[in-house]
A and B are shown apart, each in its own frame.
Chain A
Amino acid sequence: MVPSLGINSKIEKSKPISPLALFLIKAGGVYAAWQFLYNLVFLPDGRLDTFLSLSGVNLAGSLLALLGWEVEVSGRIITCIGEKGVEIQNGCNGLNLLGLYGGFIIAYPGPWTKRSLFLMIGLFVLFIANILRIAFFAVFNANLPQYFDIAHNYSSYVFFYPIVLLFWYLWTVISDENDILIPG
């Protein structure tokens, strides 16, 4: 015998996914995809890493020369003449931070034209920050080589993370979207 539905039976409606859950799923997907792409394609290939390292070193060299420093650039190595040089390896070129920045901007809701523009501006600012960081390393190593490890260890907290977090925050404001933690 099939039980009949009474008048007071509650019919469960399928609830739409919350904006926060949707954001977390999208962001998780973007970050995972980026990391797989990086580990399986970009890292073994090495060209993108090499490009970022070499261009960073060259531009940092030009910047320091412009500011009156005597520097020598040779491949990945930047040296203030007469002092110890600094080698920019692939893990040190900020590529992972670019992925970290991009994932949030892509996943957080907002109009795509604004998003693309904001993404490009942020990536460019991070690239510039990396150039400043490399220039800082070269000058720091020339003057205080005994403290270089400390400067290297903590440099991301000064040059990268504040920019990433600030740009994320700005995007949540600029995107003109409703709050996603507590919608409405």
Chain B
Amino acid sequence: MDCYQRRERHFNSWLKLIFSLGSFCLLYLFLIRPIQSILVADLVVPALKSYTEAEPDFEIVAIQDDFWIESHSNRFMDLFINLPFNGYFWLTATILWALKKKIILKVIVYYNLALFVIHPVLIFILLNKNYWIAPWISAHEMVYKSLFLSLGVLVLKEGLSRKNDIEIRMR
């Protein structure tokens, strides 16, 4: 590959990335997030409220695409939970897809699928008055979202700076 072809390929990578990120912004802000907000407000929160009807200590409120669980007795504070396949997933997935990092993309898709089990289990434990788990849920939310974003930035930096786009070998 000569210098011209390399530069053209580099330019195309940037163009594809910018186009992908633009599409992500539009799709996320005007389609995915509104749908998730509706799901949270009309499905998740009513279900959780009906489960905790007999327990007045819990307050569960839909705040955009998050649902917020609070303890009236201050056993824990400000617990925000997102649905799986939220904005952190879509942003990272967009970058991974644009830069063809299929293995990492698969990993984060599987993790988000696993969240359909992880979240209900953690919330079920909490709503059965196991308050100790609240900081763990909060930490889990912070950790997985931050790691997704971090992976996105690492792939962005290393994917664009590499001449040969070699797929990652996970050990």
Contact = CB atoms under 8 A, between A and B. Distances in A.
The dominant DSSP class at the A interface is helix
B143 A20 contact: no
B138 A104 contact: no
A43 B78 CA distance: 9
Interface stretch (B4-12, B53-61, B150-158): B150-158
B168 A15 contact: no
A31 interface: yes
A35 B143 contact: yes
Contact of B154 (A44, A100, A181): A181
Interface in A26-84: 27-28, 31-32, 34-36, 39-40, 43-44
Contact of B153 (A20, A32, A39, A165): A165
A100 B143 CA distance: 9
A153 to B, nearest CB: 6
A180 interface: yes
A100 B153 CA distance: 13
Interface string A12-31: 00010110110110011001
Interface size class of B (residues with CB under 8 A): 20 to 34
B142 interface: yes
Contacts of B155: 181
B162 A182 contact: yes
Contacts, number: 92
A145 interface: no
A37 B95 CA distance: 31
A87 to B, nearest CB: 16
B114 interface: no
B142 A182 contact: no
Contacts of A154: 29
Given A21-B171, A24-B147, A169 B153 contact: yes
Contact of B158 (A21, A91, A181): A181
B166 interface: yes
Contacts of B149: 100, 104, 164-165, 168
B135 interface: yes
A183 to B, nearest CB: 10
Contacts of B29: 154, 157
B142 A99 contact: yes
B139 A27 contact: no
Interface centre among B29, B134, B158, B170, by most A CB within 10 Å?
B158
> What 7 A-B pairs come out closest when comparing CB atoms?
A35-B139, A35-B142, A18-B171, A32-B139, A172-B157, A39-B135, A179-B158
11 contacts: A20-B170, A31-B143, A34-B142, A40-B135, A165-B152, A169-B157, A172-B154, A172-B157, A179-B161, A181-B168, A182-B166
Given A39-B139, A173-B157, 17 more contacts: A18-B170, A18-B171, A20-B154, A21-B171, A28-B147, A32-B139, A35-B141, A40-B135, A43-B78, A99-B142, A103-B146, A104-B146, A153-B64, A165-B152, A169-B157, A172-B154, A181-B155
Interface of B: 29, 64, 74, 76-78, 134-135, 138-139, 141-143, 146-147, 149-150, 152-159, 161-162, 166, 168-171
